[in-house]
Homo-oligomer: A and B are copies of this chain.
Amino acid sequence: MKTDTNNATTTTVYEVARVAGVSPATVSRYLNGTAKISDEKRASIEKVIEQLNYKPNVLAQSLKMGSSRTIGVLTQSLVSGYFNEAMTGIDEAMKDAGYVPLIMSGHWHASEEAERVELLIARRVDGLVILTGNLSDAQILQYARRVPIVAFGRKLEGKQAFGFCLDNYQAACDAMDYLIEQGHRRIAFIEGPPEQEDARARLAGYRDTLARHNIKVHPKLIVPGDFQESGGLLAVNQLLETGQRFSAIFAGNDLTAYGARLALYRRNIRVPEDVSIIGFDDLHSSMCTTPPLTTVRQPLFDVGICIGQIMLKMINHEKFTVDIPALSLVVRESVRRIG
């Protein structure tokens, strides 16, 4: 009942073999270089392939070989500069090995993430990359029994599973040290979603560094955010409306910093003359904000490369060691020395 989608009849190894006067096995051997072929047949096959514009059906190959040369990537947002920088690295690291990423987004929603993972597995991806998200470690380990997994944004070690994260805590400490070194004492902090490990680590870095410098942690200076611009905007409004005094803001991430900066702009509070801002992530656009944002650089591209390399090793059952990329403070112009 169903008509062919493609008008042109697809050419197959059989077709090529027939026209070239050889067996399909030989054509396959030619394609994969699996065995020596007489020059005569080789020439013939080459000609026919050219002439018929034959392209092997990857689906059939995958089925037969038990490997789709595809690796599934579960991201949380197709539009996030943060995730997409990592995606680029993954793609870069795997493409030379002939792997193609199949990307799906879980939108930070555990049940949707689980659904996507099942979809990816059903498509027989050779490996799975999970970029943060809300799945439990137990669930991931469970999936790892079906497919090798490398996760980013959580520590994980298992039979076919490996996960790592960057040292957000240390980087937050460094950022705070910098702020304090620049003379800031009353520093506001805009949180990220508490269910995200990274967000908690940054907050911890904030608190601990203050404590280490014997600066009182003022609870009113810690305001909730959501890692989005709107959260940053609201947070600063709240800070201002409740009359807090602060000379600097440590935003949970760059997006938050953007929102915070806008809230300040609205009230004619200058950055960095009146208030300093420091972010976290170093999104591409942070280079061009007004003023350019001082922030913590997350080397996401390198993370992606790293993920890809581990994935490759795992797929090939090779041992691997990991060199986790380091976070670093990038000083631009949104923080001013005071006092």
Give the most central of A4, A88, A103, A119: most B CB within 10 Å: A103
In the bound complex, CA of A321 to CA of B13 (Å): 39
Give the most central of A85, A122, A292: most B CB within 10 Å: A122
| Segment at the interface with B among A50-58, A129-137, A149-157, A194-202 | A50-58
Known: A63-B63, A259-B288. A145 touches B8 (CB 8 A): yes
- What are 28 inter-chain pairs, A to B, with CB distance below 8 A? A5-B126, A5-B148, A8-B145, A55-B122, A56-B122, A58-B122, A59-B62, A59-B68, A63-B63, A78-B84, A78-B88, A79-B81, A79-B87, A79-B284, A84-B84, A91-B105, A100-B123, A101-B103, A103-B103, A229-B285, A229-B287, A233-B288, A258-B288, A259-B288, A265-B290, A265-B291, A285-B285, A290-B290
Query: Using a CB–CB distance below 8 Å, which chain A residues touch chain B?
Result: 3-8, 55-60, 62-63, 66-68, 78-79, 81, 84-85, 87-88, 91, 100-105, 118-119, 121-124, 126, 145-148, 160, 229, 233, 258-259, 261-262, 265, 284-285, 287-292, 315, 317
Q: Which of B7, B122, B258 contacts A57 (CB 8 A)?
A: B122
In the bound complex, CA of A8 to CA of B315 (Å): 15
In the bound complex, CA of A138 to CA of B60 (Å): 30
Known: A59-B59, A285-B258. A81 touches B81 (CB 8 A): yes
Q: CB-nearest residue of chain B relative to A147?
A: B6
In the bound complex, CA of A66 to CA of B292 (Å): 52
